[in-house]
Amino acid sequence: MNLNDAIQECWSKIDEGQVATYIPALAKVDPYQLGVYLFDVTNDKKAEAGASQVRFAIESVSKVITLLYAIERLGLSAVEEQVGTRQTGFPFDTILNMEITKETHPLNAFINSGAILISSLIEEQDGLSPFDQILEFSRKICNDPAITLNEEIYQSELRTGDMNRSLAYYLKAKEVLTNDVTLSLDTYFKQCSMMVTCQSLANLGAVLANDGIAPWNNERIISSEAATYTKSVMMTTGLYNESGTYSVRIGVPTKSGVGGGLVSASPNHYGIGIFSPALDHAGNSVAGLALLELISKKLKLDVFRY
């Protein structure tokens, strides 16, 4: 398929969305950008178009990376004891779902409370802070040594992060988050402020699509079990409150972030990275999801259909 034509076809969708404004540094991003990088893991072929090499804030897509890293460090059952795999029916930063449902742990790893809890599980090792380990692991699994923390976005996250602080302190009060709460929050704010490209996310997707093995050097980066678990969680809770809608429409495990990034893993076929910063009401990239839907249809990627 011609990716430039696909971008043209989806371009007008940008006008239906808006860049995230609740984090001021993200509000400055030019909405008129759309890029894609496809990594065909079966044939070891790559294709890209549009803003595929533009760096943007990873935001919630980082939750995929920290989940994988926590599973690698602690084992899947330890992680499963901390977070569920259920949809919430509430926005990603809701503080209420544990109150309402009387759950003892966050309902899934991709809502902010679950993600902060996952980040809190990563402890200092060999003199490396939790964030330094996440950064190192991100560079490895995204095959992108140029991933760095964007100081302006990090400062902006710190200034506007009171909802996340309240979630973390709620978890602490409930004795669910038992490590240092300030450090856990700092790790979370920093992981959201890492700068990636469509190519970095396509590489991450390719490792997941390829059962945990990096297709660029055949090194196993994560266990098959971690790859399968994470793809399932992406499919069911990766797109905020619209996860069910897009599972039906696109049928490819995907995680979005409010920076406008999307990572998709089409099992045994493709890793896909997409970027377009204008978001819909739920926080997903509008043009990005339109492009992903088009690609999924053209390449027959829907896991339920083919």
Interface positions with ligand GLU (CB under 6 A): 59-60, 92-93, 112, 157, 164, 192, 257-258, 283
HSE at residue 305, side-chain half, CA atoms within 13 A, is 14
Whether the CB-CB separation of 66 and 130 falls below 8 Å is answered with no
Q: Which segments are annotated as binding site for substrate?
A: 60, 112, 157, 164, 188, 240, 258
Are the C-beta atoms of residues 191 and 134 closer than 8 Å to each other? Answer: yes
| Rg value, the chain, Cα | 18
From the CB of 199, what's the least distance to ligand GLU, in Å?
20
Residues at the binding site are 60, 112, 157, 164, 188, 240, 258
Q: Closest residue to ligand GLU, Cβ-based?
A: 60
Smallest separation (angstroms) from ligand GLU to the CB of 252? 19
CB of 258 to ligand GLU, least distance (A): 4
* Closer CB to ligand GLU, 41 or 98, in the complex: 98
Closest approach, Cβ 259 to ligand GLU, in A, equals 7
Q: Are 60 and 285 in contact (CB under 8 A)?
A: no
Task: Give the residue carrying structure tokens 């090499």.
Answer: 53
Q: By C-alpha distance, which of 185, 188, 57, 191 is closest to 135?
A: 191
Distance between CA atoms of 69 and 206, rounded to whole angstroms?
16
Distance CA 17, CA 236 (A): 23
Which lies closer to ligand GLU via its Cβ, residue 49 or residue 198?
198
Looking at beta carbons only, is 192 or 227 nearer to ligand GLU?
Answer: 192
CB-nearer residue toward ligand GLU: 205 or 212: 205
- Which helix (H) or strand (E) covers residue 234, if one does? helix 224-237
Q: Shortest distance, CB of residue 193 to ligand GLU, whole angstroms?
A: 8
Q: Which is nearer to ligand GLU, 49 or 115 (CB)?
A: 115
What is the token pair recorded at 141? 């699994």
Query: Cα–Cα distance between 192 and 295 in angstroms, integer?
Result: 27
The owner of tokens 């971690």 is 226
C-beta separation of 275 from 84 below 8 A: no
Whole-number minimum distance, CB 297 to ligand GLU, in Å?
A: 26
| Residue with smaller CB distance to ligand GLU, 62 or 247 | 62
Query: 112: which 2 tokens?
Result: 């902010």
- Within 10 angstroms of residue 178's Cβ, the number of other Cβ atoms is 12
The least CB distance from residue 93 to ligand GLU, in Å, is: 6
Closest to ligand GLU by CB, 48 vs 59, is 59
